[in-house]
Amino acid sequence: MHLSVYLTRPGAYATWTAIYTPTSQPIEFLPSFIEWALLMLYRKTVIGKHQIIQFAGGSSTEEVLRLPVAELKQLTYFVSAGKYRMIKDYFISLAAVWEHAQMPQRQVWHMCRQLVHQIAAVYQPVYNRMEEILLELNDMIRCANFYGELMSGVYSLLFDNWNIKDRKLSTQELYDYAAKYIDENYALPLSVQSVCDEVGISQTYLSRLFRKYSDTTFNAYLTHRRMEAAMQLLREKPNLLLRDVAICVGYEDSSYFTKVFHQYTGKTPSQFVSGE
């Protein structure tokens, strides 16, 4: 119970898996506990699920799950025939099955790699980017909040991102470009889609970039940028009308701006100016 409270404290991870021993152990036990606990984490972590697992100890052979041959043959046909709607539906159905079965993250990693290799055999754009795709897949597995999000991202990675307008940019450069665009245009009515259109990538891909390089979401990053600008503006021009401050940092509704400002700082704009 104490472990659960500790892990769910404000600012902690969105999801987590913890291993514990039910009884106290001598300190000499610690090295072997760490070794086997890491193995359990490796095998039992489920994307999007909180878990507290009692340490079992010992070693066991892990059976690597594979997708059914019949499904892979059907997928090959969908790809060869350009039936992208059916491919996407298949990916969504896999995510639903994995969510229901609480499939371990590691097993999903194996099956996603199996999908990539199967598609690369009949789809040249994926074959040409095989190494890059597999590296990005690793990042997606680490960053996904749930399996539906993961498979949406995998579909985008395989069938959308190969023709983005500036594929020569690395993922770090794409993130830097998106972050800089927000920094320079936060006063505009920005949205996820408007930034995606500017950068030339999908919403799923953009969300993954922000989780990977800033450990936050697009909306949280935009709000942070706007609130920091609002605080600076209030310090420099305390007599500025509230509606003008709101407009200067990208909010048309001053009431909504006040609500967001209070959530971010714990103070209303007027309290912030007066130093209360």
Q: How many CB atoms lie within 10 A of CB 200?
A: 16
One digit per residue, pLDDT tens: the chain, 276 residues? 787 777 776 555 667 888 888 888 899 989 988 888 888 888 888 888 888 888 866 656 678 889 999 999 999 999 998 888 899 999 999 999 999 999 999 999 999 999 999 999 999 989 988 988 898 888 888 877 889 888 988 998 888 754 444 446 778 888 998 999 999 999 998 888 888 888 878 887 888 888 888 888 899 999 999 999 999 999 998 888 999 999 999 998 999 999 999 989 999 999 998 876
Neighbours of 233 (CB within 10 A): 16
- pLDDT, position 214: 87
Q: What is residue 164's predicted lDDT score, i.e. its pLDDT?
A: 46
Q: Which distant-in-sequence residues (6+ apart) come within 8 Å of 168 by Cβ?
A: none
- Per-residue pLDDT at 163: 45
Separation of alpha carbons 79 and 66, rounded Å: 19
Residue 116: the pLDDT is 95
pLDDT at 40: 84
Whether the CB-CB separation of 250 and 233 falls below 8 Å is answered with: no
Identify whether the C-beta of residue 222 lies closer than 8 Å to the C-beta of residue 186.
yes
What is the DSSP-derived secondary structure letter of residue 28? G
- DSSP classification of residue 190: -
